[in-house]
């Protein structure tokens, strides 16, 4: 599992890969938030507080447990709200990954069943 934290100004991205067979439970999430905050504060220039980060999480249990919410509340961190029916590939992914953005160009984000669909090379409008 890969966890990601990023800030808009200044643009900083922190990608953390959890070791194999690590369960993403509330303790893992809280530890991730602690280490992310320490890493951002350890920057020599443009120190970043955890409350300045954007946390884009889905509605999984480790992200919404009482312990995790209380940890974030004590530090004035407001996670970005995500609708319960949003697709796995959200608009945030298009912002973060240029190569993915390039490959998705011309595709539709919302398909007929709510998932991502992409036009093939032969599907030109008007044909």
* Residue pair 40/49 in contact by the 8 Å Cβ criterion: yes
Buried b (16+ CB within 10 A) or exposed e, 60-93: eebbebeebeebbeeeebeeeeeeeeeeeebeeb
Domain borders along the chain are: 2-82, 85-121
Q: Which residues pair with 7 in a beta bridge?
A: 12
E-state strands within 2-76: 2-7, 12-17
Does the model's pTM come out above 0.75? no
For the stretch 62-73, pLDDT in tens is 666 788 778 878
Say what percent of the chain tops pLDDT 70. Answer: 28
**How far is the CA of 82 from the CAs of 9, 11, 63, 92, 104, in angstroms?**
22, 22, 12, 11, 21
User: Across residues 20-44, what is the average pLDDT?
Assistant: 74
DSSP string, 1-16: -EEEEEETTTTEEEEE
Of 13-17, 69-73, 98-102, 121-125, least confident by mean pLDDT is: 121-125
For the stretch 92-108, pLDDT in tens is 555 555 555 555 566 55
Per-residue pLDDT band for 55 (boundaries 50, 70, 90) equals low
Q: Which of 92, 69, 73, 72 is nearest to 82 (CA)?
A: 92
**How far is the CA of 125 from the CAs of 2, 20, 107, 111, 112, in angstroms?**
37, 45, 12, 16, 17
């Amino acid at each position: 599992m890969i966890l990601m934290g990023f800030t808009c100004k200044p643009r900083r991205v922190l990608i953390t890969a959890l070791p194999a067979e690590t369960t993403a439970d509330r303790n893992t999430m809280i530890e991730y938030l602690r280490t992310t905050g320490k890493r951002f504060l350890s920057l020599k220039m443009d120190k970043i507080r955890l409350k300045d980060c954007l946390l884009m999480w889905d509605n999984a249990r480790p992200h919404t447990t009482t312990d995790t919410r209380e940890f974030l509340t004590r530090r004035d961190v407001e996670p970005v709200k995500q609708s319960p029916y949003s697709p796995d590939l959200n608009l945030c992914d298009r912002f973060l990954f240029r190569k993915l953005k390039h490959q998705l160009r011309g595709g539709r984000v919302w398909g007929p069943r709510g998932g991502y669909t992409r036009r093939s090379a032969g599907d030109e409008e008007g044909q």
